[in-house]
Amino acid sequence: MYKILVLLTLFGAKYVESQEKINIDVFYEALCPDSFDFVENQLGPTWNDIKDYVNLNLVPFGKSAIFNGGTSVQCQHGQRECEGNRVMSCALHKIQDPSTAVHFVKCYMNRFIRYARRDRQEFGESCVTKAGLNWNLDVKQCYESQLGTRLQLNAENQTNTYQPDFIPTIVYNKVFDQGLQDESLYNFKSTACTLIKKQYPQAC
């Protein structure tokens, strides 16, 4: 029985790898309550059911704008939000496992929104550690260097491709669709699963 299960598992994994996964891009920003709501109540609870079929791309930028090649940044909810976006860009750059990325963003935004007046490190470090990273080596050094700027410029570039009206914006397979966007905010699971099932009938 055990051997059969192992074979089925291996076969299942191969089957998934041999097909194109569904791309899901999430454009969000650090101090946006709707973004946190999406991560906490839609993406978070759904992730386990869809993770085998999805390439997830979390893009922390939203309605920000970078000026002068990165020397100045403006964010929808103020400078503090720019800090949070940049911290998340740095951490996500280092996190390899998408499930860890989802947990990290949920953990980080929860603290970031609740503890508005504390400094970056105080609320960020525990989530970074939980994600298996080192605050100083993996996040602080990146945050304070050109790498942090490059990652945010890249997030801006990706975000501007879709020029989102609303944050968070969820894009499936690199094409924005207003119907899927609206549905995703209150029923992400069924929205994502409907698409996934077209390619992977056994999924969800």
Q: Is 160 in the site for ligand NAG (CB under 6 A)?
A: yes
Q: Is 157 in the site for ligand NAG (CB under 6 A)?
A: yes
> How far, in Å, CA of 65 to CA of 163, rounded?
12
H helices of the chain, in order, are: 2-18, 33-38, 44-50, 79-94, 98-114, 120-130, 141-143, 146-162, 178-199
Give the nearest distance from C-beta 58 to ligand NAG in angstroms. Answer: 18
Contact mark string toward ligand NAG, 25..54, x via CB under 6 A: ------------------------------
Tell me which residue of 103, 116, 135, 115 sits closest to 39, measured CA to CA: 103
Give the nearer residue to ligand NAG in terms of CB position, either 129 or 157. 157
Q: Is 19 in the site for ligand NAG (CB under 6 A)?
A: no
Give the nearest distance from C-beta 27 to ligand NAG in angstroms. Answer: 12
Backbone angles phi, psi at 55, to 5 degrees: -100, 115
CA atoms within 13 Å, Cβ hemisphere of 162:
27
Interface stretch with ligand NAG, choices 18-26, 74-82, 153-161, 175-183 (CB under 6 A): 153-161
Give the nearest distance from C-beta 164 to ligand NAG in angstroms. Answer: 12
Q: Is 173 in the site for ligand NAG (CB under 6 A)?
A: no
Long-range contacts of 156-160 (CB under 8 A, 24+ apart): 156/61, 156/64, 156/65, 156/66, 158/25, 158/27, 158/57, 158/59, 158/61, 159/27, 159/59, 159/61, 159/62, 159/64
Give the nearer residue to ligand NAG in terms of CB position, either 121 or 161. 161
Strands 54-60 and 22-28: parallel
Q: Is 161 in the site for ligand NAG (CB under 6 A)?
A: yes
Q: Which amino acid is residue 128, in one-letter code?
A: V
Interface stretch with ligand NAG, choices 27-35, 103-111, 127-135, 156-164 (CB under 6 A): 156-164
Give the nearer residue to ligand NAG in terms of CB position, either 160 or 194. 160
Give the nearer residue to ligand NAG in terms of CB position, either 5 or 175. 175
Site for ligand NAG, rule CB under 6 A: 157, 160-161
